[in-house]
Amino acid sequence: MMSSLRITLAQMDIFWENKAANFDYLKLVVGNVCAHEKPDIVVLPEMFSTGFSMHSHELAESFHGETISQLTAFAATFEVAIVGSFICREGEHYYNRAFFITPQESYYYNKHHLFRMGGEAQSFSPGEERVIVAYKQWQIMLLVCYDLRFPVWSRNRGCEYDLCIYVANWPASRIQVWDALLLARALENQTYVCGVNRVGIDGNDISYNGHSKLIDPRGKVLLQLDKNKACTEVVTIDKEPLLRFREKFPVWMDAD
C-alpha cells in the first residue's frame, strides 16, 4: 500500500482574467518544483487561470478545452496529479469546476456552495454531487472555497476519505475564518486537510494573503506558507499514522 503522498502547495498571485500568464507561471515555477521535488500532487488555488471572476460567459471552456488539455499534458510530463478549479461550460450551464487530473485519468467536482455575497449564483450553477477520488491508495475529497463553511457537506462518513483538499480565493479580511475552519474540518473528520489560497489583489480590488496550509488529523499544522507571498512548498503526509489514530480514537463511530 502507498503509505505516503508528497504534495506541493502552489500559492499563486493570479493574473486577472489572463490565462496565458497564469499558465506561464504554472509551467515555469510549478514545473521547476515538479522536476526537482517529484511530488505526487500539485494543488493550485481556485480559478487559478482567471482569478475569481464572474465573467463566466466570456471565460468559460469545455472540460475538453485548452485549460484541461494543457493540464493533462503537464501531468503526463511530470507524472503528477494536478488539483485546482476553472470556469467550465457544459451545455447551457457554467460551473466553478474543481479538477483532479492524473497522467491517466481526469475527475471533476462542481462547487456546491456558491458565494452569495459575491454574486456567484448569478454567473454559475451549483454542483449537486460530492466527489471522492481514489489515487495511489488514498481517498481524496475535492471541495472549493465557500464549501469550507458548511461542515455537513464535507462530513467524512465512515472515514470514506483520507485527505480533503480545499482550493480557494479567500480574502485577507476573513482569513481568521479560513484558519479556524480548516482546523475544524481536520479535527471533526479525522483527516488530513489541505487548503490552498491565492495572494495578491484581484480585478475587483479584493486583497488575498494566502495562509495555504496542510493540517494533520490531530490538528497539527504540518506546513503553512508565508503570508502575502507567491511560493510553492512540498510536504509529505503518511497514511499509516492516520489509520492508527482512527483505530485508537474512533470518534467517527459515534458520529450523527
Question: Exposed, middle or buried, 117 (CB in 10 Å: 0-12/13-18/19+)?
Answer: exposed
With the C-alpha atoms ordered 211, 54, 8, 137, is the resulting torsion angle positive or negative? positive
Annotated catalytic residue: which of 19, 111, 213, 239? Answer: 111
DSSP state of 173: G
C-alpha closest to that of 238 among 114, 97, 137, 151: 137
- 231 carries an active-site annotation: no
247 counts as catalytic: no
Determine how many CB atoms are found less than 10 A away from the CB of residue 23.
18
> From the candidates 17, 88, 120, 145, which is the catalytic residue?
145
What nine digits make up the cell of 5? 503522498
| Active-site residue, 128 included | no
Q: From the candidates 46, 120, 194, 239, which is the catalytic residue?
A: 46
DSSP output for 8-62? EEEE-BPPTT-HHHHHHHIIIIIHHHHHHH--SEEEPPTTTTT-S-S-HHHH-B-
Neighbouring residues of 253: CB distance < 8 A, sequence distance ≥ 6: none
Question: Where in the sequence numbering do the catalytic residues fall?
Answer: 46, 111, 145
